[in-house]
Chain A
């Protein structure tokens, strides 16, 4: 009796093991041959939850009094910022006029996208935005904040949702220019919105120098925060970060 029970139990165990192995191989095959199958399903399922969370964060559950007070405070901050930006605006207008004169004015339309998920909850310095193929996005679309600060590009596009990989994601590279001498360098992502570039020792750059992308249209990419010399080596490491906090991004602009 005991022997038949043990044999039955072993048989059941083998059956379960075989079923699990077959299921695993099937899932692995689907992921390998149709890599967008599972993401398409799960992203479509998750999007309504993320959108509801986004609306709540935007003040959907706040009282009228709270919203009015917050509105007034934000209006005051905007007025103060506008005053400070007047002088910057005049320089920007002059720059755009010069670009137009040289035939380099930007004609790329941008689409506003809500950031549904962002670091640190999303790993790998990645954003999930609420537009996709329905708005004409593709994997060549660039992503900006504050209008013209380049932060990343669209990596995966689905019907109504997209994944954006930031250039600060570990291992990502972007060609930049540093300082007033426009020293060319390769910015390598370190994660957390941080970058590092390796330059020969003695290069004429200093902390606070602006870092720009190679495009005339884009605004400053960041500022040099630290320079780490390597006493034994021929190079020094230049650390810089985006001028925006990627952990608080709520809106981005996508250039198609």
Chain B
């Protein structure tokens, strides 16, 4: 549990600075290691809130939320397949 909290703190600090290239690999590994890693989607929402969600950007303004949700769903399905 402490590792998950430390991971969350690292991801949050990276997102705060816009370091998506740091947050994304950490989150990607965490999705596999921790069950129901919804912090990934929250990180995507925070990233879009801070740096996106501008009408001129269109769909690009939601890329954090979209990618984090897609990766979370895909990893969940893959984990289920591997377990079965």
Interface, chain A (partner B; CB < 8 A): 16, 20, 24, 27, 31, 35, 38-39, 41-43, 46, 49-50, 53, 117, 121-124, 126, 128, 155-156, 163, 165, 169, 171-172
Contacts and interface: CB of A to CB of B under 8 A. Distances in A.
Interface stretch (B2-10, B11-19, B24-32): B11-19
A41 B55 CA distance: 18
A39 B46 CA distance: 8
Interface of B: 16-20, 36, 38, 41, 45-46, 48-57, 60-62, 65, 69
Contacts of A16: 36
Given A117-B51, A126-B51, A165 B56 contact: yes
Q: Interface of chain B, helix or strand or loop or mixed?
A: helix
Nearest to B18: A121
B46 to A, nearest CB: 5
Contacts of A20: 36, 38
| Residue with the highest number of chain A CB atoms closer than 10 Å, among B41, B53, B60 | B53
Contacts of B20: 123
Given A43-B50, A126-B54, A163-B54, A38 B60 contact: no
21 contacts: A16-B36, A24-B41, A24-B69, A35-B53, A38-B46, A41-B49, A43-B49, A46-B16, A46-B50, A117-B18, A123-B18, A123-B20, A124-B54, A124-B57, A128-B50, A128-B51, A155-B55, A155-B56, A163-B51, A163-B54, A169-B56
Contacts of B53: 31, 35, 38-39, 156
A171 B60 CA distance: 11
A78 B16 CA distance: 35
Nearest to B38: A20
Contacts of B18: 117, 121-123
